[in-house]
């Protein structure tokens, strides 16, 4: 089963993709990790990508799609894969479709996590974690029980990601809307869109996704 995850930064795609990976035995593919692996292995594609990066140039879609073709041919992708972060543009989606057609494969569904962007910005901009044990907190939704003290380890040092501020979050959301939202009508025209309420509790989001997965499984068995 081959899946694309779409949704703005912080919508929970990574959490759900990891769960699907464990539950269904399909592989979550990060194009960034894939690129680093190809460069480290010194493959032809990796060497080409390394040369482009060292020259300060963007990696062409054709190179990324070629790396993806090599990655999904590996045995651990036999049951399928999850793409989170690719494609980002219609041109990339078209290149991906061409590659999958050539390899006699296809995308089974595009899961779209819909969220309220204002609420999402509040969620992300309030996040912080314990420096000692990594426990996660939020200023409004999950503060520490005792101010300045970690509930788990009793630590007093907390950290916030530099980009977890409202201004940066809104810029990331604007970029998503400008670049990635045009993918929705592209995949909608193919009947692949499955909209998920990303504002629901995590367990409910998981149930919605599982219902989509069950529906695909039933169709493929017919």
Give the pLDDT confidence of 159-203 residue by residue, as tens digits: 998 878 888 888 888 888 888 888 999 999 999 999 999 989 889
153 and 83 within one domain: no
pLDDT tens digits, 4-30 = 999 888 888 888 988 999 999 999 998
**DSSP states along the chain:** -EEEEE--TTSSHHHHHHHHHHHH-PEEE-HHHHHHHHHHHT-HHHHHHHHHHHTTPPPPHHHHHHHHHHHHTSGGGTT-EEEES---SHHHHHHHHHHHHHTT----EEEEEE--HHHHHHHHHTEEEETTT--EEETTTB--SBTTB-TTT----EE--TT-SHHHHHHHHHHHHHHTTTHHHHHHTTT-EEEEETTS-HHHHHHHHHHHHHHHHHHHH-
Look over the chain and give the mean of its residue pLDDT values, rounded to a whole number. Answer: 89
Q: What is the CATH number of the domain that holds 51?
A: 3.40.50.300
Q: What is the pLDDT of residue 169?
A: 84
Active site residue 13: yes
Catalytic residue check, 71: no
- Among residues 57, 161, 166, 190, the one annotated as catalytic is 161
Catalytic residue among 19, 50, 127, 131: 127
Do 66 and 97 lie in a common domain? yes
Q: Give residue-wise pLDDT tens across range 35-50.
A: 888 888 888 888 888 8
Q: Which of 19, 50, 88, 131 is catalytic?
A: 88
Number of domains in the chain: 2
pLDDT tens for each residue of 52-87: 888 878 788 888 898 899 899 999 999 999 998 889
* Domain match, 135 and 48 both: no
Residues 91, 59 share a domain: yes
- Based on the domain organization, do 151 and 179 belong to the same domain? no
In the residue annotation, 142 being an active-site residue is answered as: no
pLDDT at 221: 60
- pTM, two decimal places: 0.79
Residue 148 within a domain: yes
Given the residues 19, 50, 131, 172, select the one marked as catalytic.
172
36 is catalytic: no
The confidence band for 117, taking pLDDT boundaries of 50, 70 and 90, is confident
* Residue 220: per-residue pLDDT: 64
Q: Is 88 a catalytic residue?
A: yes
Mark whether 17 and 67 lie in a shared domain.
Answer: yes
The residue range of the domain holding 56 is 2-116+168-221
- Let me know if residue 144 belongs to a domain: yes
């Amino acid at each position: 089963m081959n899946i694309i995850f779409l949704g703005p930064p912080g919508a929970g795609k990574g959490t759900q993709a990891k769960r699907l990976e464990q539950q269904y035995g399909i592989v979550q593919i990060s194009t960034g990790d894939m690129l680093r692996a190809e460069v480290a292995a010194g493959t032809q594609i990796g060497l080409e990508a390394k040369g482009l990066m060292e020259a300060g140039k963007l990696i062409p879609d054709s190179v990324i799609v070629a790396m993806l073709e090599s990655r999904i041919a590996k045995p651990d992708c036999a049951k399928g894969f999850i793409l989170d972060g690719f494609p980002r543009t219609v041109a990339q989606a078209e290149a991906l479709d061409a590659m999958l057609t050539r390899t006699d494969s296809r995308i089974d569904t595009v899961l779209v996590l819909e969220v309220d962007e204002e609420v999402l910005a509040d969620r992300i901009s309030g996040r912080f974690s314990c420096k000692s044990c990594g426990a996660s907190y939020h200023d409004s939704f999950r503060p520490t029980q005792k101010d300045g003290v970690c509930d788990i380890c009793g630590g007093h040092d907390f950290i916030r990601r530099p980009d977890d501020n409202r201004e940066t979050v809104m810029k990331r959301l604007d970029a998503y809307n400008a670049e990635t939202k045009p993918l929705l009508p592209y995949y909608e025209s193919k009947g692949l869109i499955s909209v998920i309420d990303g504002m629901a509790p995590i367990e409910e989001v998981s149930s919605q996704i599982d219902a989509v997965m069950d529906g695909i499984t039933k169709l493929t068995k017919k």
